[in-house]
């Protein structure tokens, strides 16, 4: 994924354009794309800032509201497989989810792979 250009470069591009040069000239001089110079100047004029826009953000998962139900289903049947758990969730709550997502959710909730009496994993992850 591309990363934002430095604020120093952004400030130099703005100063160059504000000195009377075109956005195309600024892009050629500083080795950026024309769209970067155009969008930067638009942002500068609208907000007065050369800071890049925020990237990423928190993604809300669809399993969060069903955490109690999922944990209760696992507690009720400790040997339930992820496809079976996905089917139970789909039937009871009409939530379609991939079994691998359920596995990641359970690991994040503090569950780990079951181990047999010898202390080895019962199956590969």
Q: Hey, is 115 helix, strand or coil? A: strand
Average pLDDT on 23-51 reads: 96
Task: Give the structural domain span for 73.
Answer: 64-108
- Per-residue pLDDT reduced to its tens digit, 80-93: 889 999 999 999 99
Query: Average pLDDT over the chain, rounded to whole?
Result: 88
**Is 121 in a helix, a strand, or coil?**
strand
Say if CB 26 and CB 16 are below 8 A apart.
yes
What pLDDT is recorded for position 35? 95
In a domain, 117, yes or no: no
Decide if 33 is inside a domain: yes
* 43 and 68 together in one domain: no
Look up residue 47 and give its two tokens: 């907000």
How many C-beta atoms lie closer than 10 Å to residue 102's C-beta? 21
Q: Does 104 lie in the same domain as 79?
A: yes
**Could you give the number of structural domains in the chain?**
2
Instruction: Say yes or no: 68 and 103 in one domain.
Output: yes
Are 102 and 70 contained in the same domain? Answer: yes
Are residue 43 and residue 71 in the same domain, yes or no?
A: no
Q: What is the pLDDT of residues 9-26, one digit of tens each?
A: 999 999 999 999 999 999
Distance CA 110, CA 125 (A): 16
Residues 47, 45, 41: CA angle, nearest 5 degrees: 110
Q: How many helices (H) and strands (E) does the chain have?
A: 6, 0
Percent of the chain at pLDDT > 70 equals: 88
Shared-domain flag, residues 70 and 37: no
According to the model, what pLDDT value does residue 15 have? 97
């Amino acid at each position: 994924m591309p990363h934002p250009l430095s604020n120093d470069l952004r400030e130099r591009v703005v100063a160059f354009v504000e000195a009377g040069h075109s956005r195309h000239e600024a892009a050629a001089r500083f080795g950026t794309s024309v769209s970067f110079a155009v969008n930067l100047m638009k942002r500068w004029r609208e907000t007065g800032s050369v800071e890049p826009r925020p990237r990423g953000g928190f993604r809300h998962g669809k399993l969060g509201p069903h955490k109690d139900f999922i944990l209760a289903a696992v507690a009720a049947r400790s040997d339930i497989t992820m496809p079976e758990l996905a089917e139970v969730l789909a039937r009871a709550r009409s939530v379609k989810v991939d079994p691998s997502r359920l596995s990641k959710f359970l690991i994040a909730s503090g569950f780990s792979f079951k181990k047999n009496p010898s202390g080895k994993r019962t199956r590969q992850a």
